[in-house]
Chains A and B, each alone.
Chain A
Amino acid sequence: MLTGSKTTFKVRQMVPDMKERMLSQSGLNARSRDMFGLRCLPGECVLQRAVLVRKKLTAREGGGWLAGTLFCTHFRVAFVPQDIPKPDDNADPVLLGDHDVALASIEKVVAVGPSRTKLVTPNSSLKFTPEELVLYCRDLRVICFLFDRLTPETQAIEITYTIAKTYQPLKPGTVLSFQNAALGSVEMKQFLSNRRKDTHMNWFESAADWEQELERCGAAGWRVSSVNDRFEMATSLPRFNVVPQKVLDTELKKTFAHFNEGRIPRWCWRHPRGSDLLRMASFQNNIYHEKDDIRNLELILFGGLSLCVVVELGEEMPSPADIQLAHSRLRALCLGDLSTSVSVPDDKWLSTLESTHWLDYTRCCLRKAAEVACLLRSGHLTVALQEAEDRDMSCVVSSLVQVMCDPHCRTQLGFQGLVQKEWVMAGHRFYNRVNYHRDNDKEEAPVFLLFLDCVWQLWSQYPSRFQLTEDFLLALHDSVHLPLFSTFLANCQRERCKRTQHLSQSYTPVNGWRDVLPRGSSPDPSDPTLPPVWDWALQYSGQRQARFTQPIPPPPSIKPLLNGNLNTNPDAHRLSDTTPVSVFLLSRGAFSCPANLLPWRSSSSGVYKKSHRRAPSSENVQALERLLKAWALTEYPHALTSNCGPQGPLDPYEPLLPLLLGPCVGVWRECYLRGALHAQAFSHPISSNHLHPVEQLAWEVQQLRDKLALASSKTDANPPAKRAEPRRTDTNLNQNTNNGTFLFPASRPQGLGVTRAAPPPTSINHQTSRGAPPSSAPQSRPSHKDNGGSNKHTFLFGHPSATEARPDQRYYPAPNNTKLPKSNGPSIGS
Chain B
Amino acid sequence: MLSLGSGGGKSAKPSFVSYVTPEEINSEKDTPKEEKHPDLLPGEVVFCSASTVLKLTQDELSQRGTFGTLLCTNFRVSFISDEETGEETAPLFKNKLYGENDIPLSCVDNIYGGYEDKRKLVTGSQVKNKYPSKIIIHCKDLRVFQFALTFCKEEDAKRIFQGIVHHCLEPKSLKNIFAFSFCENTAFPEMQMQQRTMMFDSAEDWAQDLKRTKGSCRLVTENANFGLSPNLPQYFIVPESVSEADMTLFQGKGLPIWCWSHHSGCALFKTSNLPLQQEDNVPQSYMEKMLTAVAHNYLYSVKTEDLSDTLPTVQDIQLSYSKFKQFFFIDSTTDFWVSDMKWFSSLDNCGWLDIIRQCLQKAMEVVECLEKENNNVLIMEDGGSDLCCVISSLAQLMLDSYYRTLQGFQSLVQKEWVAGGHNFLDRCNQLHLKDKENVSPVFLLFLECVWQLLQQYGPAFQFSETYLTVLSDSIHVPVFSTFLFNSQHHRASILRADSSHSQRGTLNCPTVWDWSVQFDCKAQQLFINPLYAEKPKLDKSMRRPHRPKHQRQLSLPSATFKTPPKKGFFKDETDSLKKILRVKRISRWMLSPDSPQPSSTSREFYEAWQRKPLDYHGLLLPCLDGPAVRIWMQRYLRWIQEVQIFGGGLVTVLSKVSDLLDEVQELQRQLDRHSSSLTSNHQRPRPRPISAETDSRLSVLLSSSFPFTTLKNNWSYKPAIPTGLLQSLMNSGNLADTEDDDQESLVRA
Binding site for B on A (CB under 8 A): 63-65, 344-355, 367, 370-371, 374, 461-465, 586, 588-595, 613, 616-618, 621-622, 625, 628-629, 632-633, 635-636, 639, 649-650, 654-664, 667, 669, 673, 677-694, 696-697, 700-701, 704, 707-708, 711, 714-715, 718, 720-721, 723-726, 732, 735, 738-743, 745, 751-753, 795-798, 800, 802-803, 805
Contacts and interface: CB of A to CB of B under 8 A. Distances in A.
Contacts of B456: 681, 802
B663 A658 contact: no
A498 B637 CA distance: 54
A164 to B, nearest CB: 25
A691 B537 CA distance: 13
Contact of B660 (A370, A714, A741): A741
Given A346-B624, A589-B724, A464 B684 contact: no
Contacts of B340: 661-662
Interface string B734-746: 0111101100100
B554 interface: no
Contacts of B633: 663
B725 A374 contact: yes
21 contacts: A346-B354, A346-B624, A346-B629, A374-B719, A586-B725, A589-B728, A593-B737, A625-B732, A632-B1, A650-B701, A667-B627, A673-B627, A692-B459, A693-B531, A696-B533, A700-B664, A718-B678, A720-B682, A721-B678, A741-B660, A795-B660
Contact of A690 (B530, B617, B715, B729): B617
Contacts of A661: 336, 340, 343, 642-643, 722
Contact of B661 (A662, A686, A697): A697
Contacts of A654: 717
B694 A741 contact: yes
B601 interface: no
A204 to B, nearest CB: 30
B614 A726 contact: no
B61 interface: no
Given A659-B643, A742-B659, 9 more contacts: A63-B613, A348-B626, A589-B724, A589-B727, A594-B737, A654-B717, A657-B720, A680-B606, A802-B456
A701 B738 contact: no
A347 B721 contact: no
A464 B610 contact: no
Contacts of B614: 63, 684-687
Interface of B: 1, 4, 336, 339-340, 342-345, 347-349, 351, 353-354, 357, 455-459, 530-534, 536, 606-607, 610-617, 622-629, 631, 633, 637, 642-645, 647-650, 652-653, 655-657, 659-661, 663-664, 667-668, 670-671, 673-675, 677-678, 682, 684, 686-687, 690, 694-695, 698-699, 701-702, 704, 715-729, 732-733, 735-738, 740-741, 744, 748
Contact of B607 (A680, A795, A796): A680
Nearest to B667: A704
Question: Which of B351, B645, B678, B721 counts the most A-chain CB atoms under 10 A from its CB?
Answer: B721
Contacts of A592: 735-737
Contacts of A628: 726, 729
Contacts of A687: 613-616
Contact of A724 (B343, B345, B613, B673): B673
A591 B738 CA distance: 11
B692 to A, nearest CB: 12
Nearest to B662: A741
Given A367-B723, A711-B671, A721-B678, A797 B653 contact: yes
A285 B628 CA distance: 52
Contacts of B644: 659
A463 B719 contact: no
Contacts, number: 323
B732 A622 contact: yes
B647 A462 contact: yes
Contacts of B655: 743
Contacts of A745: 647, 698, 701
B281 to A, nearest CB: 42
B136 to A, nearest CB: 22
A588 B616 CA distance: 50
B690 A649 contact: no
A724 B644 CA distance: 40
Given A347-B353, A632-B718, A720-B682, A589 B725 contact: yes
Contacts of A802: 455-458, 650
B678 A735 contact: no
Contacts of B690: 735, 738-739
Nearest to B625: A678
Nearest to A609: B744
B270 to A, nearest CB: 27
A658 B720 contact: yes
B737 A636 contact: no
Contacts of A658: 720
Contacts of B699: 649
A591 B354 CA distance: 44
A725 B343 contact: no
A618 B739 CA distance: 9
A656 B531 CA distance: 27
A579 B725 CA distance: 29
Given A463-B652, A635-B717, A741-B656, A659 B736 contact: no
B613 to A, nearest CB: 4
B749 to A, nearest CB: 11
A659 B728 contact: no
Contact of B613 (A688, A725, A735, A800): A688
B342 A463 contact: no
A516 to B, nearest CB: 52
B559 to A, nearest CB: 25
Contacts of B698: 740-741, 745
A649 B302 CA distance: 62
B682 A349 contact: no
Given A680-B610, A803-B459, A618 B735 contact: yes
A723 B671 contact: no
B274 to A, nearest CB: 33
Nearest to B670: A724
A690 B157 CA distance: 62
The 9 lowest CB-CB distance pairs between A and B, nearest first, are A349-B626, A681-B623, A662-B343, A589-B723, A354-B344, A590-B728, A350-B344, A687-B613, A351-B345
A825 to B, nearest CB: 15
Contacts of A660: 720, 722
A752 B626 contact: no
B667 A741 contact: no
A740 B623 CA distance: 38
Nearest to B743: A595
Contact of A370 (B684, B701, B719): B719
Nearest to B465: A802
Given A678-B625, A797-B653, A374 B721 contact: yes
Nearest to A316: B723
A374 B729 CA distance: 13
A413 B450 CA distance: 41
A704 B687 contact: no
Contacts of A679: 625, 627
A618 B612 contact: no
A345 to B, nearest CB: 8
A685 B721 CA distance: 40
Most buried by B among A461, A629, A690, A796: A690
A134 to B, nearest CB: 14
Given A63-B614, A680-B610, A751-B663, A663 B643 contact: yes
A621 B611 CA distance: 62
B647 A371 contact: no
Q: With a 10 A CB-CB cut-off, give which of B4, B671, B684 has the most chain A CB atoms.
A: B671
Contacts of A680: 606-607, 610, 623, 625
Contacts of A669: 627
Contacts of A656: 648
A801 to B, nearest CB: 9
Nearest to A796: B656
